[in-house]
Amino acid sequence: MSEPLLVGRVGRSFGVRGYGRVQLLSDNPARFLGDIGETFLLRASSRFLKGAPSKSRSLVLEDARDQSGVLLVKWAGIDSPEALREIAGWEILWEGEDDWVPEESDAERLDDLVGFAVLDVETGQRVGTVAGYYDRSGQDLLSIQTQGGQEVLCPFVQPLVPEIDREKGEVTVLWSIVGTSG
């Protein structure tokens, strides 16, 4: 089985029946809306734990809807705002196969790039490895772990990431700009 995919974060409650807002972190616009009846893994975010052991639980998605641009979900067994508060801020992970394919032929799935070698476009030298990514509303960022173990964040835009070679497992970046940020 592959690594669970982070697809959302539990937000504040909505109403009195256990519905809650979800911050969508998936590139799949139908995530949740097309997954009613599926089981998701919910995990306490490490930023809330402060050294405590990690908490997690599996929950079945009972309902999901778009309410004026806000994604609302209802989890089976979460029937009140108080119950939802217990999992507010938790990460929502998808453990099943993620077979969604973007409609745009040139769209890249950031989670597919993790582990790729990072090469400097100007020198061809390896400068690090894609260690992860940050899915931000304003700009997606690649997390690059340099050869020296330092994290460098690179905006995922064509001028800075001009080429991705999936067959070779390589991402080419404009390191003269990106490498100065670390």
Q: How confident is the model at residue 178 (pLDDT cuts 50, 70, 90)?
A: confident
Q: Which amino acid is at 9?
A: R
pLDDT in tens, 61-77: 999 998 887 889 999 99
Asked if the model's pLDDT at residue 32 lies above 80, the reply is yes
Measured between alpha carbons, how far is 34 from 10 in angstroms, rounded to an integer? 17
Asked if the model's pLDDT at residue 126 lies above 80, the reply is yes
Q: What is the mean pLDDT of the chain?
A: 81
Asked if the model's pLDDT at residue 49 lies above 50, the reply is no
Domains of the chain with bracketed CATH: 5-94 (2.40.30.60), 110-181 (2.30.30.240)
Asked if the model's pLDDT at residue 181 lies above 90, the reply is no
Alpha-carbon distances, residue 20 vs 45, 155, 158 (angstroms)? 17, 31, 36
pLDDT in tens, 90-111: 888 888 765 554 455 444 567 6
